[in-house]
Amino acid sequence: MEGNHEPSLTDAEVRRIREDFPLLTGTPTVYLDSGATSQKPLAVLDAEREFYLHRNAAVHRGAHTLAVEATDAYEEARRVVAGFVGGAETELVWTSNATEAINLLAYSFSNATAGRGGEAGRRFRLGPGDEIVTTELEHHANLIPWQELAARTGAVLRWIPVDDTGALDLGAAAEVVGERTRVVAFSHVSNVTGAITDVAALVGLARAAGALTVLDACQSVPHLSVDLPALGVDFAVFSGHKMLGPTGIGALWGRTELLDAMPPFLTGGSMITKVTMETAHYLPAPTRFEAGTQRVAQAVALAEAVRYLEDVGMERIAAHEHALGQRLASGLAELEGIRLIGPPPGTARVGLAAVDVDGVHAHDVGQVLDVAGVAVRVGHHCAQPLHRALGLTASTRASGYLYTTTEDVDRFLAELAGVRSYFRVAG
């Protein structure tokens, strides 16, 4: 975020934005759990409803007018969302969520290893002696699929460690990524620390090794201005529900030449060109990865969410979140008995911060805050290895978004400051 000269959203603008979110109006709750799921503006809710009211039909099947209109809406949504991350329509595959998107990659690589995909799929094959590299701070969704792929193929899973603040050890990364590395999978932004990864450094290491890169962009695409091709990664995943969109929709972005070479994961209708009783031939990407009934209404609604974000301006949203993140980090660093997890104040982060409260379990912290009308996330945030590396079992996370005001952050800090005395552990 250093060097971002776009003006941040003012609190007056944020209050105006909040009026578009039905759940945030008429409630005293301070919602600081956007890292888990975002709230939805009325425009997104209306877009999904409008599709069902006026254009509901199966896509890529019927020749009647309604089916054509539904197909056009579905593919226009793909164009809008792909463009939002700097991609083309041929580079965006619809999935149910980011977890499914990572599994799609892992199982496609596994199928290639089994000989599917022919000569084109050879580049995705793994075997004994090959290495898959991830990091110690990953969400389980970007760890377990690679564990399973290693188990199926005989490859070895390795990881880049974190230091005592939870930051990736890039010095160690140069030792972990080497000539045997075939895949490097890592997060753009940590869902626990809010830290922004040096993507260029890891892409450089992977390219030198001839490895494919997979970026978990779930916590970056909603909050930063992201151009995936410019980042140099080969694949990336993100989820709609974290970026004002509905649940049940996510995306895999990949370079066209790679997607076209990958064997499919799920098979069935909609993704084939010719089927006999013995064989099947598959359509090019992205359709070859979208078997069965598509997520049409959800895709249309996600495109509307993207339009909403673009209308506000991603650079301004990023600047606003940078300010929120610094306010969170600075305020937390001043509280006695509170350990800020991740980068210190002044370091670039999104509007997210997690803490350990000395002497109080995270679930108790969350309960006290909830009674006070502040909604946060507690637990290991699907990142047990990171918490274990930091000597923790759980933490308390506050995460904001474009509809979060500075007053929301200050209310959280004020309520958190009283937690230790409430449990009589202060002093």
Strand partners of residue 274: 281
Phi, psi of 69 (to 5 degrees): -65, -40
**Which active-site residues does the annotation give?**
382
Q: And the tokens for 116?
A: 């599917």
**DSSP line for 30-61:** EE-BTTT-----HHHHHHHHHHHHHT---TTT
Helices (H) and strands (E) in the chain, counts: 15, 15
- Residue (of 378, 377, 380) closest to 363 by Cα position: 378
Q: At 404, is the secondary structure helix, strand, or coil?
A: coil
The Cα 384–Cα 143 span in angstroms is 11
- Residue (of 424, 399, 420) closest to 409 by Cα position: 399
Q: At 130, is the secondary structure helix, strand, or coil?
A: coil
Q: And the tokens for 285?
A: 């990407």
The Cα 195–Cα 145 span in angstroms is 23
Note whether 192 and 381 are within 8 A (CB).
yes
Burial of residue 134, with CB atoms counted within 10 A of its CB: 0-12 exposed, 13-18 middle, 19 or more buried:
buried
The Cα 400–Cα 245 span in angstroms is 16
Outline where 292-405 has alpha helix (H): 296-312, 314-333, 362-371, 384-389
Note whether 387 and 380 are within 8 A (CB).
yes
E strand or H helix at 172, and its extent? helix 170-176
Phi, psi of 393 (to 5 degrees): -105, -25
